[in-house]
Amino acid sequence: MKELKELKKIEKYVDQCMKCGFCTYFCPVYQEERVETSVARGKNYLVKLALKGEQEFTDELGKILSKCLLCKRCVVNCPAKSQIDRVVVGARAQMVNEKGLGAIKNFVFRKVMADRKRFTRYLKLAKAFQWLLPRTEGNIRHLPDFLKALGAGRNIPELAKTFLRDMVKPAYRPEGVKEPVMRVGFFMGCATDFIYPEIGLKLIDFLVKRNVEVIVPKEQNCCGAAIYFSGDFQTGRLLADMNADAFRDVDLIVTACATCSSTLKEYEKYLPESEDQRKRYEDFSKKVKDSMEFIIDVLKVDPKELKVREEFKGKTVTWHDPCHLVRYQDIKDQPRNILKNLEGIKYVEMPNADLCCGMGGSFSVYYYDLSKKIAKKKTEGIKATGADVVVTACPGCMINLIDNLLHNKMPQRVYHILELVE
């Protein structure tokens, strides 16, 4: 066994659990599987044994650790304030130290995603061949049988005709003002860059019209969520350093992706190897704002000023809370504030709006059928609202919600909240 470097870092969190079992009520994975290894308490116990040298880093343990959405429902409801997200991610990092990343992740994370130019080239190539995937409807296609390892029949949106980074200027200065109110960096994120460029353009436009200067550094890379939450801290650190460098000269950093904003805010929690690096990530993370908190809390936009776009007038709209927004960043009132004040739509609160949609990053790739079972509760909640439109603030959730609504033959359409606003 190698040195338990990553486990030692999380020892104090492992000791927090008092085995009360309260988390069994809240864990979406446990609610489906009803086995102890699915829930925070069971995972924590195994990591505790590993710390004592009584549990090997076997493939079975790797599988147990991977079966967690990192949704943090157990964390926010734990009476002992046990931070199971830290325990799971730290133990995954130890697993990578012990057994390596595996050939596929090694190639995808370190050879492709770590190099934005190469990543973009590969996706342009994929775009040229996406016509091979059968079309479900509109710009949604689905995976054929030979790709069933990625989720049999999974519906996925097409890659955008033009990627966002090929459309944006390096800087946007508001017209007709001497001094912008602020200078912010726009962080794109992968899904907005490659699938939903219109969300990025919308946010830039929204900010510039409110006298904010927007800088779009081309050197920015993926936030690293899929990478460092899988335990690849080495590549996570590389991306964190690239992003900290790219945004060193702005007042604040704004993104329209809840997963990106929470991931950028957590660099300091997982990745630093020295005090200097910790300070650097901390300074970077302090500047990060999700678009919802930036618009309402920083810019102090009065939601009553906002107008709904013509095509949404008369629609019933409901809101899905992304885990990375509601539990990682405690942002829940800001989007509701906007939706409740938009004249021309009817806002209906969804039952269990904060339930995970079942995506969980690579969780839905490894455990697609389980992910769909978890999403069933979400689609039932959507159905109960009678809504025409589901809005959220995470492109990852949008992709998963679209897939599950289509599987359940439901007519609702999914949008980013910024898309609703004129």
Q: Give the footprint of ligand SF4 on this chain (CB under 6 A).
A: 17-23, 26-29, 39-41, 44, 68-74, 78, 80, 82, 84-85
Q: Output 62 or 157, the one with its CB closest to ligand SF4.
A: 62
Burial-class residue 138 by CB neighbours within 10 Å (0-12, 13-18, 19+). exposed
Q: Output 25 or 131, the one with its CB closest to ligand SF4.
A: 25
Please report, for residues 5, 187, 213, 265, 286, the alpha-carbon distance to residue 254 in angstroms, rounded to integers and kept in the order given. Answer: 34, 6, 12, 11, 11
* Least gap, CB of 391 to ligand SF4 (angstroms): 23
Q: Output 65 or 143, the one with its CB closest to ligand SF4.
A: 65
Q: Is the dihedral of CA 333, 252, 195, 363 positive or negative?
A: negative
* Least gap, CB of 364 to ligand SF4 (angstroms): 12
Q: Output 70 or 399, the one with its CB closest to ligand SF4.
A: 70
Q: Is the dihedral of CA 354, 403, 364, 156 positive or negative?
A: negative
CA angle 167, 172, 177 (to 5 degrees): 155
* Least gap, CB of 376 to ligand SF4 (angstroms): 16
Q: Output 89 or 253, the one with its CB closest to ligand SF4.
A: 89
Q: Output 23 or 207, the one with its CB closest to ligand SF4.
A: 23
Is 166 in contact with 366 (CB distance < 8 Å)?
no
Q: Output 74 or 342, the one with its CB closest to ligand SF4.
A: 74
Return left, alpha or beta for 138; rule: phi > 0 is left, psi -120 to 50 is alpha, else beta.
left
Q: What is the DSSP string of 281-309?
A: HHHHHHTEEEHHHIIIIIS---GGG--B-
Is 201 in contact with 237 (CB distance < 8 Å)?
no
CA distance 406 to 102: 33
* Least gap, CB of 84 to ligand SF4 (angstroms): 5
* Least gap, CB of 75 to ligand SF4 (angstroms): 7
* Least gap, CB of 175 to ligand SF4 (angstroms): 46
CA distance 83 to 74: 8
* Least gap, CB of 104 to ligand SF4 (angstroms): 23
204 contacts: CB under 8 Å, gap ≥ 6:
168, 172, 186, 214, 216
Q: Output 243 or 259, the one with its CB closest to ligand SF4.
A: 259
* Least gap, CB of 202 to ligand SF4 (angstroms): 31
Instruction: For strands 413-416 and 140-142, give the pairing.
Output: unpaired
